[in-house]
Amino acid sequence: MFRPNFILLALGWALLQQVHLANAWPTPHQLSQWLPHFKSQRPQTQPDFARRNFETMSRIYNLTVYPNQLPILGGGGAAAPPGLFTQDVRGRVTPVGDFEDFEHSIEYFFSLSPVPQGNAVKGAITGYRIVEFSSQCPEIAASVVYLYCSVVDPGSPDHGRPLPALKQVAFWRFDSQGTVAYYDAWIPNLHSWVELTNGGVPVSDPQFQASSITQICTLTQLRCHGENRQWDSIEQCIADLSQKPYGNYDEAWGDNIACRSIHLVLTQVRPDVHCPHVGPTGGGKCVNAPYAERYFSDESLFGSPSGETFVCK
């Protein structure tokens, strides 16, 4: 499992120069394959919105590739390049949650991208490819991206060994500048991916669960001080969390350990905001929201009825 350990973040910076990034930018030939209508309709006057939207998508996913996410991990939304998300962007990333502002969107898209120093296999996203893409009007696009993972451990024979890839399926709505205003994204099979990157150890393994709880408690005590403090002691935290269900990574939103293990990453970025999410109450994020609220809250999330947000008018 990708276990973040930002104490070692500085080491990550030292490794930057040595990391080989897969080139993710498609050739013009690939682009024409992925945009079948780009050429086939009105070739002389084809608007370039599809290409513009593709580029926004591409720039977003490029920032999940290690080490491109590190400035955002350190500096939050202020370190994000302009033009990707609007200031009041909102969206959903199933199975993690709803994100109701710019800072949350930035954090959940980029700060959760694994750093090699933070997990047992030294894995990170090292390349991406937008494998499916469609944009039939300037406001809307749909995409599927493969996020390729591999071992980042320069000097070791393991360096570059491919790890299981992640997939993200997403619908996007843009403002008039081609900046993302709303998104509805889904990472399928996250649970299997966690198990595979953890060497095939099932999440149900009691030792895995115990060490995950210990890690959450150790790092929470380390990062959440003063008003952000969640537990009296690591022992208290372990005792409390051991009473909660572990949960599963395909439905991580809940009052469980899987949810807290994801939100734990962000306690490093903004402890005041994220410490409560890993604490006893779940801080409104790791809580047992009803099914309909977790997956069908389009109206409150996007401000328009279901079926209105991601369609060309």
56 binds ligand NAG (CB under 6 A): no
Per DSSP bridges, beta strands 97-99 and 85-94 are: antiparallel
Phi, psi of 263 (to 5 degrees): -70, -20
Q: How many residues bind ligand NAG (CB under 6 A)?
A: 5
State the binding string over 4-43 for ligand NAG (x if CB under 6 A, else -): ---------------------x------------------
- Here the tokens at position 165 are 């890839």
> Binding residue for ligand NAG (CB under 6 A) from 68, 119, 135, 209?
68
Burial of 155 (0-12, 13-18, 19+ CB in 10 A): exposed
225 binds ligand NAG (CB under 6 A): no
62 binds ligand NAG (CB under 6 A): yes
- Here the tokens at position 130 are 């937008």
Q: How far is the CB of 68 from ligand NAG (least distance, A)?
A: 5
146 binds ligand NAG (CB under 6 A): no
113 binds ligand NAG (CB under 6 A): no
58 binds ligand NAG (CB under 6 A): yes
296 binds ligand NAG (CB under 6 A): no
Give dist(CA 312, CA 199) in Å, integer.
43
> Binding residue for ligand NAG (CB under 6 A) from 20, 37, 39, 59?
59
- Output the residue with the shortest Cβ distance to ligand NAG: 62
Positions in the binding site for ligand NAG (CB under 6 A)? 25, 58-59, 62, 68
